[in-house]
């Protein structure tokens, strides 16, 4: 891998400069299409499709990373609640076949209905693919 690009998320290469936090087995980033302000993705460094494919060591690291990111994003966004979501498998809405979790800080009234977050998550991966592909294209045209 190119030295300036250390992370993969599905077919996408994530430049180091977009990674907020990295642990032994996970990295986090702000997606190009955040559902709400402060939305963070936590992605496994090893490309596996499902939570059940993670090793015990990776699950432990995921738990610590999730706790760390959630505390930091809630502090930064000045909120006390977050939606944490994993779409684990195609039937659950996962389109990018690479384990990832969403941390989305929440405030009362941020959506018409609190459960609207789930319909937004349903289309997130598809929108990520569109947004990231466009941003990669623009970046390549600039160089």
Residues involved in catalysis: 100
Is 23:63 a contact under the CB 8 Å cutoff? Answer: no
Is 61:43 a contact under the CB 8 Å cutoff? Answer: no
Q: 106: which strand partners?
A: 81
Each as own residue / partner, the long-range contacts of residues 70-75 (CB below 8 Å, 24 or more positions apart, any chain) are 70/103, 72/21, 73/38, 73/40, 73/103, 73/105, 74/105
Question: In 3-state terms, what secondary structure has residue 113?
Answer: coil
Is 26:108 a contact under the CB 8 Å cutoff? Answer: no
């Amino acid at each position: 891998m190119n030295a300036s690009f250390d992370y993969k998320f599905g077919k996408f290469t994530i430049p180091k400069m977009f990674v907020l936090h990295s642990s032994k087995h996970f990295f986090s980033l702000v997606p190009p299409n955040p559902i709400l302000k402060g939305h963070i993705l936590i992605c496994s460094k090893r490309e596996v499709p499902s939570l059940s494919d993670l090793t015990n060591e990776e699950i432990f690291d995921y738990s610590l990373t999730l706790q760390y990111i959630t505390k930091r994003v809630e502090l930064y966004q000045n909120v006390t609640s977050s939606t944490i979501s994993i779409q684990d498998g195609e039937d659950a809405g996962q389109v990018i076949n690479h384990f990832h979790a969403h941390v989305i800080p929440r405030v009362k009234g941020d959506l018409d209905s609190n459960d609207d977050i789930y319909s937004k998550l349903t289309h997130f991966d598809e929108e990520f693919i569109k947004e990231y592909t466009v941003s990669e294209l623009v970046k390549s045209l600039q160089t």
